Amino acid sequence: MAGTRTTSTAAAIAMTALVAVGATACGGSGSGGDADSGTYTFWDPYPQFDEGSEWARLVSDCGERAGVTVERTAYDTSDLANRALLAGQQGNSPDVMLVDNPVVSTLAEAGILNTTEDLDLDTSGYEQNILAAGQVGGDTFGVPIGANTLALYYNAEVLDDAGVDPASVTDWDSLTAALEQVTDAGHKGITFSAIGTEEGTFQFLPWFWGAGADLREIDSDAAVAAVALWQDWLDRGFAPNSVINNTQTTSWQEFATGDYAFAENGTWQLANAEDAGFDYGVITIPARDGGAAPVPTGGEFLTVPVQTDSARYDVSTRIVNCLTREDNLLATDTTLSYIAPVAAVQDRQRTDDAALEPWVEAVGSAKGRTSDDLGTDYPVISEQLWTAVNSALSGAQDARGALGAAQEAAAADTAGE
């Protein structure tokens, strides 16, 4: 954590911003209680899964295997993040929490979570780039249950009509050339979300990182180039002006009309893609000069909050280990349209569904938004970044001016000035 702000102040600021962060990717009260009570509390961000769902049955079964009853409470992602911080401050955290990965660093810096080393949780089998989202200052504060991320969906019929081979899209220049070819053929180019919220940052990061930019220097030449790419697409009619207000949902709705060649969106749209009524495919988002761009990871981490009675940690750890067994990970990640956080399960996913190959590749290039030891600085930086991008695309400021003001504000805030 940079600067001199106190941990509690930083956590409070970050948690306010994380209300927006939690809405991207992708949920009661309770307390640990007595170690011999036989009841353990579990919070997750999946209110869509009722007590009769496979997920709820898995949680219950893992409790039974550990010799206890699990009392599960689900909140939406943002509500869970705020309740988790409050419960930790009040000393009545649940025994196990499943939280959105950017929230981990905030809870860790607030002193609410145990490290995996404290719990003797084995993290050796996890893909390092996915695990990194739960690491702060060299410590790991949970284990990922799965990851989702971004790629480019394409409408095969539109590309065929325009004579574009999706395999030809390997860098920014070839993507822009494909968009020109598509629009010349009378179709629409690409849609994405550039809204002034965390969703906008989430969608911009592949282009930002793909240009070689760093979140500690959001006014760099590389960052300006990424904004200029999006500006060029809008100016030339390759992307609609609606992207400025698009959420990832409304962006998908545009793509689902069948008019667009490409859409930047996530694994969570796979079921909708199958129902779209046209042939589609998926390619990784290209970096500026070729190869796959780093994309941000969504998904949740299983964490074990600090309890007054440390004797409870053994059972909590057994519950976590059960939920992350290979068979259980496969079932959970299939249900959630996630890519597994361990290579062995990824291989099983690809074997079961060849269409997941580009998503496994994308996750392999992904990085956590709070990685690079950004921790609770990330929400502050992200807000400045989405504000700058939205301002530049709307024409309120030029890219360099908007990013310069954003860098100045982010540096002052993260330094506690």
pLDDT in tens, 44-75: 999 999 999 999 999 999 999 999 999 999 99
Mean of pLDDT values over 155-173: 98
The better pLDDT of the pair 388, 414 is held by 388
- pLDDT of 77 reads 85
Return d(Cα 158, Cα 280) in angstroms, integer: 10
The CATH number for 150-295+376-414, chosen from 3.90.226.10, 3.40.190.10, 1.10.274.100, 3.40.640.10, is 3.40.190.10
Mean of pLDDT values over 401-416: 91
- pLDDT of 415 reads 81
Domain ranges of the chain: 7-148+299-364, 150-295+376-414
pLDDT in tens, 250-271: 999 999 999 999 999 999 999 9
Least confident of 102-111, 179-188, 253-262: 102-111
CB atoms within 10 A of CB 292: 20
pLDDT in tens, 277-286: 999 999 999 9
Return d(Cα 110, Cα 82) in angstroms, integer: 12
- pLDDT of 410 reads 95
Return d(Cα 264, Cα 248) in angstroms, integer: 8
Structure confidence at residue 376 as a pLDDT band (50, 70, 90) = confident
Mean of pLDDT values over 10-20: 41
Return d(Cα 141, Cα 52) in angstroms, integer: 30
- pLDDT of 13 reads 36
- pLDDT of 18 reads 44
Q: How much is the mean pLDDT over the chain?
A: 90
- Establish whether domains 7-148+299-364 and 150-295+376-414 are of one fold: yes
Mean of pLDDT values over 121-125: 95
- pLDDT of 78 reads 81
The superfamily in CATH containing domain 7-148+299-364 is Periplasmic binding protein-like II (3.40.190.10)
For 185-239, where are the alpha helices, taking DSSP H only? 198-210, 221-235
- pLDDT of 37 reads 59
Least confident of 147-161, 284-298, 366-380: 366-380
Mean of pLDDT values over 93-106: 95
Under 8 Å between Cβ of 156 and 282: no
Q: For residue 168, give the amino acid letter.
A: S
- pLDDT of 373 reads 82
- pLDDT of 14 reads 42
- pLDDT of 371 reads 86
pLDDT in tens, 225-247: 999 999 999 999 999 999 999 99
Mean of pLDDT values over 362-389: 92
Tokens of 205: 């990061």
pTM: 0.86
User: In the chain, helix, strand, coil percent, each to 5?
Assistant: 50, 15, 35
10 has pLDDT over 60: no
Degrees to nearest 5, angle at CA 351 with 350 and 355: 45
Sign of CA dihedral 189, 279, 193, 375: negative
- pLDDT of 35 reads 59
pLDDT in tens, 188-233: 999 999 999 999 999 999 999 999 999 999 999 999 999 999 999 9
Structure confidence at residue 34 as a pLDDT band (50, 70, 90) = low
Tell me the C-alpha to C-alpha distance, in Å, between residue 224 and each of 200, 259, 383, 408.
16, 29, 17, 15
Structure confidence at residue 7 as a pLDDT band (50, 70, 90) = very low
Degrees to nearest 5, angle at CA 140 with 322 and 2: 150
- pLDDT of 416 reads 60
The 8-class DSSP code of residue 189 comes to E
